Amino acid sequence: KMAGSSSPWIGSAYLFLQSTCKTIVLPSLYESSQKKPSVFKALKLALADSTGSMSGVDMLKVHCSHPHLIVQLKFCKQENCRRFLQSYREGALQASLQNHLQLSLAMTRVPLETELKAGNEHLDNMLKDEDRCLECIYREKPDRLRDEEITELEECLKSLIVCQSINNNTAVKDRTPPNSPSLPFPSQGSSFSPQVTFVFQGQEFANRTLTPDDHQKFAKLVSKKWKQVGRSLQKSCRALRDPVIDNLALEYDREGLYEQAYQLLLRFIQSEGKKATIARLIAALEENSLISLAEELLGLHSNEDCS
């Protein structure tokens, strides 16, 4: 029990999710700007089912750590945490997650394995001792505020629910308030909209989504600086955080620099969708003094460097 009744009961835990179906990779789905809102909606609704309230448990961040999707949870009331633990212990949360993912992603079946941790404690090993689980969760205070992306997804979900409730026959976009985030959900800050043109070395270029040809040229020519470019891109792309870049370096070490660079840009393109533009890549190349590669991508070179 908490020390004083005046202070709120706050605790934190991590919910690990992994699909047991090889063709369904939850982190990849969440990293996709098209699928992310569907996965988020399923998580939100399943957690609401587990506590009996949309505000019973707060999602602070969703981490993509292949093959796991890891959801950082915050509980502000002991009774909500107790309900969540009961739902988790009885398998109701797992079933609810499977159902909501199936509906949201329009798939036939999404089999899941779940794991619950609080700090170094594996709560799956002590689920029958509910008070001990509560103690472990209470001991782990949240180490962060809610991630901006989660806030945006929450707002978009509310906007979508409101739009759907007030119109059945009219397109949702016609009902969306002018200042609300557009649907589908943004993969990053809703204020970001790609510019139509950009300037490089005093010349104006049309901005465009990255092409397979850009992708291959980048992977072939960026060489050892691929990590630095990744860190420049991560400023506006949450899918390229340092652990992801480090994992790519380890995972594709044997395949060499080309494959490491290729996989880096692939993550960027999958995460950002149409927002993965040539202007953003050129800016990252400029920041790392890779002017020759930038010129190559913009067609300013003869093709002598690229066979």
d(CA 219, CA 112): 35
Alpha-carbon dihedral 201, 207, 210, 214, rounded to 10 degrees: -30
Asked if 140 and 263 sit in the same domain, the reply is no
Of 55-64, 158-167, 171-180, 238-247, minimum mean pLDDT range: 171-180
Asked if 134 and 256 sit in the same domain, the reply is no
| Confidence band, pLDDT 50/70/90 cuts, at residue 274 | confident
Tokens found for residue 56: 């019973």
Main-chain dihedrals φ then ψ at residue 60, nearest 5 degrees: -90, -35
pTM of the predicted model as reported, rounded to 2 decimal places: 0.54
**Domains identified in the chain, total number:** 2
Of 275, 279, 284, nearest to 298 (Cα)?
279
Count CA atoms within 13 Å of residue 120 on its CB side: 0
pLDDT at position 191: 40
pLDDT at position 290: 95
In the chain, what percentage of residues exceed pLDDT 90?
A: 63
Given 90, 124, 156, the domain boundary residue is 156
Is the residue at 237 inside a domain? yes
CB atoms within 10 A of CB 234: 17
Is the residue at 303 inside a domain? no
Alpha-carbon dihedral 276, 237, 231, 23, rounded to 10 degrees: -80
Of 284, 159, 160, 156, nearest to 214 (Cα)?
284
Asked if 80 and 140 sit in the same domain, the reply is yes
Omega before residue 37 within 30° of 0, cis: no
Please list, in sequence order, all residues whose beta carbon lies within 8 angstroms of the beta carbon of residue 61, skipping any fewer than 6 positions away: 71, 72, 144, 146, 147, 150
Tens digits of per-residue pLDDT, 162-179? 555 555 444 434 433 333
Asked if 133 and 237 sit in the same domain, the reply is no
Asked if 26 and 127 sit in the same domain, the reply is yes
Select the highest-mean-pLDDT range: 97-111, 164-178, 285-299: 285-299
Q: What is the CATH number of the domain that holds 137?
A: 3.30.70.680
146 or 57, greater pLDDT: 57
pLDDT at position 70: 95
Asked if 44 and 130 sit in the same domain, the reply is yes
For residue 18, give the H/E element and its range: strand 11-19
Tens digits of per-residue pLDDT, 70-81? 999 999 999 999
Asked if 120 and 222 sit in the same domain, the reply is no
Provide the 3-class DSSP secondary structure of residue 15: strand
Is the residue at 204 inside a domain? yes
pLDDT for residue 180 is more than 60:
no
Between β-strands 112-118 and 11-19, what pairing exists: parallel, antiparallel or unpaired? Answer: antiparallel
Buried b / exposed e along 67-85 (16+ C-beta atoms within 10 A): bbbbbbbbbebbebbbbbb
pLDDT at position 60: 93
Is the residue at 118 inside a domain? yes
Q: What is the CATH number of the domain that holds 235?
A: 1.10.533.10
Asked if 225 and 120 sit in the same domain, the reply is no
| Confidence band, pLDDT 50/70/90 cuts, at residue 306 | very low
The overall average pLDDT reported for the chain is 85
Is the residue at 178 inside a domain? no
Tens digits of per-residue pLDDT, 190-221? 344 556 888 898 888 989 999 999 999 999 99
Asked if 55 and 110 sit in the same domain, the reply is yes
What value, to the nearest 5°, has the Cα angle with vertex 86 and ends 75 and 9? 25
Asked if 147 and 204 sit in the same domain, the reply is no
Given 98, 124, 156, the domain boundary residue is 156
Count CA atoms within 13 Å of residue 48 on its CB side: 11
- Domain residues for the domain of 224 are 197-298
Of 35-39, 85-89, 235-239, 258-262, minimum mean pLDDT range: 235-239
Per-residue pLDDT averaged across 255-267, rounded?
A: 95
pLDDT at position 300: 86
Tens digits of per-residue pLDDT, 124-135? 999 999 999 999
Taking CA atoms, 74 is separated from 58, 100, 153, in Å, by 5, 21, 17
pLDDT at position 219: 95
Is the residue at 103 inside a domain? yes
H runs (alpha helix) in 176-241: 212-221, 226-233
Tens digits of per-residue pLDDT, 244-257? 999 999 999 999 99
Asked if 230 and 288 sit in the same domain, the reply is yes
Asked if 141 and 216 sit in the same domain, the reply is no
What value, to the nearest 5°, has the Cα angle with vertex 288 and ends 284 and 290? 90
Count CA atoms within 13 Å of residue 205 on its CB side: 19
Q: Please identify which residue in the block is written with the tokens 């992310």.
A: 36
Is the residue at 272 inside a domain? yes
Is the residue at 263 inside a domain? yes
